[in-house]
Structure 1
Amino acid sequence: MPRQKNFDYDTKLIEARDLFWEKGYNATSLNDLVDTLKINRSSLYLTYGDKHELFLKCLNSYLQLKEKEYKDATNSSEDPIEAIRNVINAVLDVILHDTKTCMFVNSTFELARIDKDVKRMLSKQTLIAVKLVEDLLKKAQENGQLSANTNPKTMAFYMITNVVSIWQTQILFSNETLTRQMADILLNTIVK
């Protein structure tokens, strides 16, 4: 008869996610996971798979959370330009006030070049965010708020990928004024 688990799957997944988020994939050892989750190795393997499988589950959990935040921000206003501003400002708020760097950003630089599964997940999430912003830009174009010469898809890629530059600036220089100025420049790219 199989042993009953004495822990909640989702709670432990969040604890593992937070550990990977804080330390990164490579710096997180199996011992770190066992100690943090307070479950034995066999339970960890039986429930979540190996370290890589667990990381992918944690990254997926994080990406779902971020996707919801992006959707909430894009739905926060009927005005498409205002909705885009809300998205950028929501990210800016996290950049300036969260003590941890975005797990998406960390995973991009740590793993996306060498781990096809991580790259696939991050690419998919980027395309989702791009599509949300692209749809808003198309609406803005339709109602005359955005130049007809602007390619909404290219502009959406530009905006989403440049959010990483804003993270990088804050990480390297811890200069709130400069970070806010970069966000303003990004927002000003959509003005007609």
Structure 2
Amino acid sequence: MARTKEFNEDAVLLKSIQLFWEQGYEKTTMQDLVSHMEIHKGSLYDTFGDKHSLYIRALKRYSDMFEQSIKRRMADTCSAKEAIRLLFEIAIHQREDIPQGCFIVNTAVELSRHDAEARECVRQDWARLEGIIRDLIVDGKNAGEFVETLDVDHLACFLNNALIGLRVMVKTINDREKLNHIVEMNMSLLK
């Protein structure tokens, strides 16, 4: 008869996200994971597979949580422009209890050149975010917030790229005034 798990699978997965986000994939050992997740090594392997499988699962969970979080926060906005600004503000106003920057961006930098599965997770995440931005631009155009001549696809791609760049910058720049100026420059494209 199979043993029942003595831990909440999602709770320990969230712990793995925190550790991978702080340390990266390469630096994180299985012993680090066992200690941080507070589960036995056998349970880790039985539930999540090897380190790489756990990492990919953590990356997908993070991506889903981030998308749900931004959609919840955007639901309280009054306009498409305000929602787009919120995306930029989320990137620069990090909580102190989470690592700086973005787990997806960290993965792109660390693994995407030699890990096809990680690269595909990053690509999917960025495509989803670009789609959210694109939909907001369309909504803004339909509501008369933005001029009709805006090229929706090109602008969504540009703003997504700017947002990804901003997520990299927050890892090393603490100058909020500079970061806010970057946000304002990007928002100025939305007329």
TM-score normalized with structure 2 length: 0.90
* CA distance in structure 1 between the partners assigned to 2:96 and 2:188 by the alignment: 20
Matched, 1:46 2:18: no
Q: Which residue pairs with 1:4 in the alignment?
A: 4
AA partner of residue 79 (structure 1):
S
Shift in Å, 1:95 = 7.7
Q: Which residue pairs with 2:90 in the alignment?
A: 90
Shift in Å, 1:128 = 1.4
CA distance 1:99–1:31, shift in 2 (3 Å) = closer
- Structure 1 stretch 117-126 or stretch 47-56: which is displaced more? 117-126
More helix by share: 1
Shift in Å, 1:171 = 2.5
User: What secondary structure sits across from 1:94 in the alignment?
Assistant: coil
TM-score normalized with structure 1 length: 0.89
Q: CA RMSD of the aligned region, Å? A: 2.0
1:1-150 equivalences in 2 (<5 Å): 1-94=1-94, 99-150=99-150
Q: Which has the higher contact order (CA 8 A, sep 6+)?
A: 2
AA partner of residue 84 (structure 1):
I
* CA distance in structure 2 between the partners assigned to 1:58 and 1:133 by the alignment: 24
Q: Which residue pairs with 2:153 in the alignment?
A: 153
Deviations 1:80-123 (A, max 9, x none): 21221222223322289954321111111111222111111121
- Structure 1 stretch 112-121 or stretch 21-30: which is displaced more? 112-121
CA distance 1:101–1:87, shift in 2 (3 Å) = closer
Identity %: 24
- In the alignment of these two chains, the number of paired residues is 191
Q: Is the contact made by 1:63 and 1:104 (CA closer than 8 Å) also made in structure 2?
A: yes
* CA distance in structure 2 between the partners assigned to 1:77 and 1:64 by the alignment: 21
Q: Is the contact made by 1:126 and 1:160 (CA closer than 8 Å) also made in structure 2?
A: yes
Shift in Å, 1:13 = 0.9
Q: Where in structure 1 are there 5+ consecutive unaligned residues?
A: none
CA distance 1:58–1:72, shift in 2 (3 Å) = same
* CA distance in structure 2 between the partners assigned to 1:34 and 1:152 by the alignment: 46
Q: Where in structure 2 are there 5+ consecutive unaligned residues?
A: none
Shift in Å, 1:146 = 2.0
Q: Is the contact made by 2:21 and 2:103 (CA closer than 8 Å) also made in structure 1?
A: yes
* CA distance in structure 2 between the partners assigned to 1:58 and 1:132 by the alignment: 22
- Structure 1 stretch 69-78 or stretch 29-38: which is displaced more? 69-78
Q: Which residue pairs with 1:179 in the alignment?
A: 179
Shift in Å, 1:79 = 1.9
* CA distance in structure 2 between the partners assigned to 1:97 and 1:55 by the alignment: 21
